[in-house]
Amino acid sequence: MTVRSVIKACGAYLPEKILTNADLEKMVDTSDEWIVQRSGIRERRIAAEGETTVDMAVKAGQEALTRSGYEGSDIDGVIVCTSTPNHTFPSVAAEVQAALNLRIGPAFDLQAVCSGFVYGLSVADMFIKTGQARRMLLIGAEKFSSIVDWNDRTTCVLFGDGAGAVVLEADESGQGTVDDRGILSTHLYADGTQKDILYVNGGPATTGESGHIVMEGKEVFRSAVKYMSGVVAEVLECNQITSEQIDWLLPHQANIRILEAAAKKLGMSMDKVIVTVDRHGNTSAASIPLALAEAVEQGRVKQGDLLLIEALGAGLTWGAALVRF
Ligand code: ACO
């Protein structure tokens, strides 16, 4: 018997307001053509005035909870992956726990920027595998619109707001093979020596203000392609599988060209890649659970499908997970 963390249900929340490339043309010196060609992004969602990361996390978390058929009191712990918390403290997770009436148990935020959800899958899986929790609520929620410099055309066209969530549950029916449902392996990395190619120029211990995103796009792009291909090869090797066995590639949604490069490296066609970047932009830690929730809702991802999840973000951080849905 092998204990596996199975994704029981997904939830998503996107703010109503759509910011199109045409809207951005009126704000900065850019064009729809440039944004689409360089990033694949056509529009992104922006939180309403006063709408917070907690609000979005609660909505996505509630949807996942409702779909799982469980009550808040059935959930042993909550992790919110975010770099845009409402406050320096308490955590977004503590507020979500209260709002959804979750059981008194662990509630904390995890900050690994765009790799946050992959890190979160790994941490939640450890809670479940070690028997510390039977069910975990894992949320990715971001309000990047608050840390984007809306005068900087090199970054403001790329990001959006939203939240996605999954309920993970212990399943004891696993045989210890890749045919098991649940999280099969996770692979996490960071290289802090590359912190300066993508960062926010503020924080509580420096400027005392939240600051804005600063990015050397080309360098991040190069790193994303390099580290993603490395970690994906590791997933295949570790699980003794080939890329033909993967049903869906579910990458962090930063740039369509990074997604295409990853698919090409794996010899997978783009119709096996889950893509939302065109409509959501980069929602950092929320992008993977948002994309998963959408693909499940559309009936594309089905129970039993093998998903290869991968992400790279500031830190640099990167990682991957192999999950049988
Ligand atoms: N509109 C028009 N022109 C622009 C814009 C814009 N919005 N932004 C930049 N340009 C110009 C630049 O000034 C430059 O002009 P120049 O040649 O005269 O100097 C030209 O367009 C090319 O700019 P590059 O930065 O070289 O364009 P590139 O093809 O590298 O694309 C991009 C930029 C989209 C940012 C890409 O590098 C990228 O996606 N990088 C990776 C981002 C990423 O993956 N982030 C993931 C992690 S995010 C996180 O963790 C928070």
Which tokens sit at 244? 């033909």
The pair phi, psi for residue 103, each rounded to 5°, is: -60, 150
- How much is the pLDDT for 61? 98
CA of 241 to the centre of ligand 1 (A): 35
Q: Any residues with CB less than 8 A from the CB of 183 and at least 6 apart, and which? A: 4, 5, 121, 122, 125, 168, 321, 322, 323
Q: Are 215 and 198 in contact (CB under 8 A)?
A: yes
Choose, from 21, 114, 212, 280, the residue flagged as catalytic.
114
The DSSP string of 103-148 is: -SS-EEEE--GGGHHHHHHHHHHHHHHTTS-SEEEEEEEEEGGGTS
What structural domains does the chain harbor? 2-174 (3.40.47.10), 182-324 (3.40.47.10)
Q: Output the pTM of the full model.
A: 0.97
How would residue 185 be classed by pLDDT, with cut points 50, 70 and 90? very high
CA of 255 to the centre of ligand 1 (A): 10
Which tens digit of pLDDT belongs to each residue from 13-27? 999 999 999 999 999
Which tens digit of pLDDT belongs to each residue from 49-60? 999 999 999 999
How would residue 112 be classed by pLDDT, with cut points 50, 70 and 90? very high
How would residue 125 be classed by pLDDT, with cut points 50, 70 and 90? very high
Q: Give the C-alpha separation, 253 to 249, whole Å.
A: 11
Q: Which ligand 1 atom is at minimum distance from the Cα of 39?
A: 34
CA of 55 to the centre of ligand 1 (A): 31
Q: Give the C-alpha separation, 38 to 162, whole Å.
A: 22
Residue nearest to atom 35 of ligand 1 (CA): 217
Which tens digit of pLDDT belongs to each residue from 241-287? 999 999 999 999 999 999 999 999 999 999 999 999 999 999 999 99
Active site residue 156: no
Average pLDDT over residues 97-104: 98
Average pLDDT over residues 72-79: 98
Choose, from 187, 212, 252, 280, the residue flagged as catalytic.
252
**Residue 44 pLDDT exceeds 90:** yes
Which tokens sit at 143? 């309000």
Strands 43-46 and 248-251: what pairing? unpaired
Computed over every residue of the chain, the mean pLDDT equals: 97
Which tens digit of pLDDT belongs to each residue from 168-177? 999 999 999 9
How would residue 162 be classed by pLDDT, with cut points 50, 70 and 90? very high
Average pLDDT over residues 109-125: 98
Cross-strand bridge partners of residue 226: none
- How much is the pLDDT for 1? 87
| DSSP H or E stretch at residue 172 | strand 161-174
Q: Which ligand 1 atom is at minimum distance from the Cα of 255?
A: 39
How would residue 288 be classed by pLDDT, with cut points 50, 70 and 90? very high
Q: Residues of the chain with pLDDT > 70: what percent?
A: 100
